[in-house]
Structure 1
């Protein structure tokens, strides 16, 4: 089963955090969520809302499109034949 959009976007957010040496707790504070709630979003169990992604993009100083571009690139990559 291929990853959902929520999983792909969550992976993108997590990737930017890692690149910048930042922590999910910073997102939790900015969004006024618990760290487990942010972790669920980064794993794609719960989708980030668009307003949350705007706050995260501002916090991390990246364009919000970055989260979607990465997710879209995953969609365009052909999956291996079964």
Structure 2
């Protein structure tokens, strides 16, 4: 994985929906903490197409991210990529 964030995605070779640990007090550009937030489908259509309403949301205008708080080692947080490469479905 590249260590240079791209302007529109997670990292230059990161996948939409990829979850990884980050040792910072803020999520890197192109990511959000995986804390169960509810997001707009209209603003995150690719991520919604992968997650659906697995973690919540109404499925019409909103969907939720997984809430991974408490699952991470001390001092780090799980973040999820909002953009990047769309994973192939085989």
TM range (shorter): under 0.3
Larger strand proportion, structure 1 or 2?
Answer: 2
Structure with higher helix content? 1
Structure 2 length-normalised TM: 0.24
Q: Report the TM-score, using the length of structure 1 for normalisation.
A: 0.26
